[in-house]
Amino acid sequence: MNKHTLLSVVTMVFLLTLTPLISKQVYAAAATSNEYQQVIATIYDYYNGLYKADQQQLAKAFDMQTGNMKTIKKNKVESTKLSTFATYFTKPSNENWLGNILMVDIVEDRMAMVKFNFETPEVHYIDYLILLKTDQGWKITSKAYVANPPM
């Protein structure tokens, strides 16, 4: 074994021994499969609740007590309670909608952020949805969105 090979082996053994001692666990990436599935189910309750105008499904998805929604209209931030937003949907849509989850980030199995792409024939939305895990399961507590064309 030459000097260079021996030095490489010693360095590798040292790094493999030292790495577990200095590395930290990253909690944001440690979402369990069960929590992930529950977050996804909540997003689809939201999406299908809007499409079908199903108030029970929307109530299952939203924090109806304190949840809010924000957007920009005419260069000003506009805020609406999620409980009020839910009442805008009074009859099922007869249009084709397309919804896709673009990103899910779950932190410590208690908080999640979901980026949701949502298209109707007239408007394309991008939602950022913040969910918190409550005694009643995952709830959307905050929704921020942009619409194209702007509303």
Q: Please report the pLDDT score of residue 93 as a whole number.
A: 95
What percent of the chain lies above the pLDDT cut of 70? 77
What is the mean predicted confidence (pLDDT) over 96-119? 96
Which region holds residue 60: left if phi is over 0, alpha if psi is between -120 and 50, else beta?
Answer: alpha
Q: Give the pTM.
A: 0.77
Q: Please report the pLDDT score of residue 149 as a whole number.
A: 85
Domain positions in the chain are 27-148
The tens digit of pLDDT for each residue in 42-99 reads 999 999 999 999 999 999 999 999 999 999 999 999 999 999 999 999 999 999 999 9
Q: Please report the pLDDT score of residue 15 as a whole number.
A: 40
| 60/13: higher pLDDT | 60
Residue 25 has pLDDT above 60, yes or no: no
Tell me which amino acid residue 88 is: Y
Please count the CA atoms within 13 angstroms of the CA of 50 that sit on its side-chain side. 18
Residue 109: which pLDDT band, with cuts at 50, 70 and 90? Answer: very high
In the chain, % helix, strand, coil (3-state, to 5) comes to 35, 35, 30
Least confident of 26-30, 63-67, 99-103: 26-30
Fold of 27-148: Nuclear Transport Factor 2; Chain: A, (3.10.450)
Residue 109 vs residues 12, 36, 47, 59, 126: alpha-carbon distances, Å = 35, 9, 22, 21, 24
Residue 11 has pLDDT above 70, yes or no: no
